[in-house]
Amino acid sequence: MKIRVLQLLAALFFFVSCSKDKNNGPGPDNGGGYTPLGGGVIYYNWANEGILRFNLAAGTVATAQQDDVGRNGWDISLDGTKYLQAEDKNGDGYDKEIYTLTNLADGTIISRFEKESGYANHTFPKLSHDVTRIAVPPTFDDGLMVLDLQGRILHNLSSFQGVKIDKGNVNWMPDNTLLFSIGKKICRTNTAFTQASVIKELNFAAWGDLTVSPDGSKLAFAAGNHIWMMNIDGSNLVQVTTSSKTEVLPEFSPDGKWLVLGTDYQTTGPFGHIWRLVVVPADGRKYNLDPGADGNVIRLVKKGETLPEACDGGVCWR
């Protein structure tokens, strides 16, 4: 059950605490535009407004999915045509979820199923690149599960090297292998999900928000309050953002040339976190996200506004 009052208070706090400084990055209101980023769409959660979509060609924002207190997780296929949602099953408390896969163009249902008993609630599923499988990150009850589009369990990976797989950091690769983490290790399965190998062992006290470029060549993640990138084989690990605050949740653009991420990260209570969306080149260079410090940082400002868009949940770029 989502605590809507806390979300609304978090949103109010965020806007009151942010100054109305002039936007320093390119955008519709200061002549820059978003043309370099292409004509894609960035989807993101915000407070009680639901899942929003930022049109990069126009600099406008619209509602992609209405706010839903029962929604636990969601994903959009890489081609931007299909939407997957995990939601609470009405009347069943926290014991069951419904997964629904729909066409974004007309809302028609492609697949809808109730997860079998034994599954835990509040999952954030991810669609494979070819939209034939669903990865369900580990929960308290289950390991990393791979489902077909009818909800049948194809694989349930509980541990690797004797260690339980982490709840976050699950990503599909283009060849339908999976990335996951155990502690400081980033790992990759084989296509049969019978074996895995360690790509990289990191040297950070805490890290997370692992993401992979659509072509599978690069990884990005948050660690030490900033964003880092490396090649898929674990080579060329570099810090790509810096600021006086904290950056979170990187996501690659469809062509892999850009990263959208959260900056000005703030904790708003026992359950709340909010941040502002910015874009930087995914070229391995380090960019300063403090306002006015680096003209290469693109602040995701909606047409007619002065502050970058706020976010408090999932993000994807399609």
User: How does pLDDT run across 110-169, given as a tens digit for each residue?
Assistant: 999 997 655 556 899 999 999 999 999 998 888 999 999 999 999 999 999 999 999 999
At residue 39, the pLDDT reads 80
Give a yes or no: residue 194 inside a domain.
yes
At residue 41, the pLDDT reads 97
State residue 141 phi and psi, 5-degree precision. Answer: -95, -30
At residue 118, the pLDDT reads 52
CATH of the domain at 270: 2.120.10
Question: Strands 287-288, 241-242: parallel, antiparallel or unpaired by DSSP?
Answer: parallel
Containing domain of residue 305, as a range?
Answer: 4-64+159-317
Give the chain's mean pLDDT. Answer: 89
Band of residue 33 on the pLDDT scale cut at 50, 70, 90: low
> What are the Cα distances from residue 105, in Å, to 64, 81, 82, 131?
11, 7, 8, 16
Q: Where are the beta strands (DSSP E) in 6-81?
A: 41-45, 51-55, 60-65, 71-76
Give a yes or no: residue 80 inside a domain.
no
- Nearest Cα residue to 84 out of 109, 47, 62, 120: 109
CA distance 251 to 42: 10
Give a yes or no: residue 88 inside a domain.
no
pTM: 0.90
Share of the chain above pLDDT 70, in %: 86
Give a yes or no: residue 127 inside a domain.
no
**Residue 85 buriedness (CB in 10 A; 0-12 / 13-18 / 19+):** buried
**How would you label 105-141 residue by residue, b for 16+ Cβ within 10 Å and e otherwise?**
eeeeeebebebeeebbbebbbbbbbebebbbbbbeee
How many C-beta atoms lie closer than 10 Å to residue 251's C-beta? Answer: 24
Give a yes or no: residue 173 inside a domain.
yes
At residue 96, the pLDDT reads 83
Give a yes or no: residue 57 inside a domain.
yes
Q: Residue 295: pLDDT above 50?
A: yes
Question: Strands 258-267, 51-55: parallel, antiparallel or unpaired by DSSP?
Answer: unpaired
| Three-state SS at 220 | strand
Residue of higher predicted confidence among 24 and 294? 294
Q: What does DSSP assign to residue 301?
A: B
User: How does pLDDT run across 47-73, given as a tens digit for each residue?
Assistant: 999 999 999 999 999 999 999 999 999
Give a yes or no: residue 15 inside a domain.
yes
Count of the separate structural domains present in the chain? 1
Give a yes or no: residue 283 inside a domain.
yes
How many C-beta atoms lie closer than 10 Å to residue 35's C-beta? Answer: 10
Q: Residue 82: pLDDT above 90?
A: yes
